[in-house]
Amino acid sequence: MRWIGRQTGALRCFHSLLESTKLHSRPATIGFDPSLANTATLTGKVIGNPAVYKVFSGKIAKAVLLVEDKSCFFVDFHNGLGECFIQHVRRGDWIQVSGSVSVEMQRSAPIAKIRVRDFQLVEGDVPGRSEQDEHSRLWQNFFAAPHDYWDNRHDKENSKRPDFRHKSTKEALWLDDSRNPPWVYAQVEMLESRGLLRKPKFTIV
């Protein structure tokens, strides 16, 4: 019995050593594939309503993907893939996208974009709604329908007055709120660049 115990202990030690060797061994080598350069696969929630734009090469469906309530990615779906996206995806849905990644500068702020090659709908358990999620939802509602909000930035007399207030529900939003996700400012600038919001001449401190 003692010999068997020693043998079992030796086998465990051998397997442990084998696993350690695998972890520290040199990774496999593959050839360079241009189609995989600067590509990524991400899972996140669609914020705002998807929109379709006509371009010379066809149609592009655009949306914003929020990943882990921290990072905001602008995603483009071209032609047939865009039509599929518009037909089956709505604001608040969770999707997984794969595609090529690029970074553009808009008003000195970096904007991450993904040209989607493939996407899937995500079902099952997704992160629950926390206080931070609830605050993010308020901003998502704003970006989905900015015309439903008063833009008070042009005549603010003090910082206590909200930057945006819903015309019906009176929900208030401040751009300097510490709970704001980092993607809020880029989204506001995008609406200003499209003429959907008028950029204020000054900011109340």
State pTM to two decimals: 0.52
pLDDT tens digits, one per residue of 101-125 = 988 887 767 788 899 999 999 876 6
Per-residue pLDDT, 204? 44
Model confidence at 98: pLDDT above 90: yes
- Coil, strand, or helix at residue 91? coil
pLDDT interval class at 202 (50, 70, 90): low
Model confidence at 169: pLDDT above 50: yes
- Coil, strand, or helix at residue 3? helix
Per-residue pLDDT, 162? 92
Closest CA to 194 of 88, 92, 74: 74
Other C-beta atoms closer than 10 Å to the C-beta of 37 total: 9
Percent with pLDDT over 70 in the chain: 80
Average pLDDT over residues 55-68: 79
Closest CA to 51 of 40, 59, 63, 42: 63
Model confidence at 15: pLDDT above 80: no
Determine how β-strand 71-78 pairs with β-strand 109-121: parallel
Percent with pLDDT over 90 in the chain: 16
Per-residue pLDDT, 21? 58
pLDDT tens digits, one per residue of 43-58 = 888 887 788 887 777 7
- Phi/psi region, residue 6 (left: phi>0; alpha: psi -120 to 50; beta: rest), is alpha
Which tokens in the block code for residue 149? 């909000």
Stronger pLDDT, 142 or 129, i.e. the higher one: 142
Radius of gyration of the chain, Cα coordinates, nearest whole angstrom? 24
Stronger pLDDT, 176 or 25, i.e. the higher one: 176
pLDDT interval class at 2 (50, 70, 90): very low
DSSP string, 138-191: HHHHHHH-GGGEEE-TTS-SSTTS-SEEETTT--EE-TT-TT--THHHHHHHHH
Helix 131-144 crosses helix 183-193 at what angle (to 10 degrees)?
10
DSSP string, 11-65: HHHHHHHHHHHHHHSPPP-----GGGTTEEEEEEEEEEEEEEEEETTEEEEEEEE
* Rounded Cα distance, 204 and 110, in Å: 25
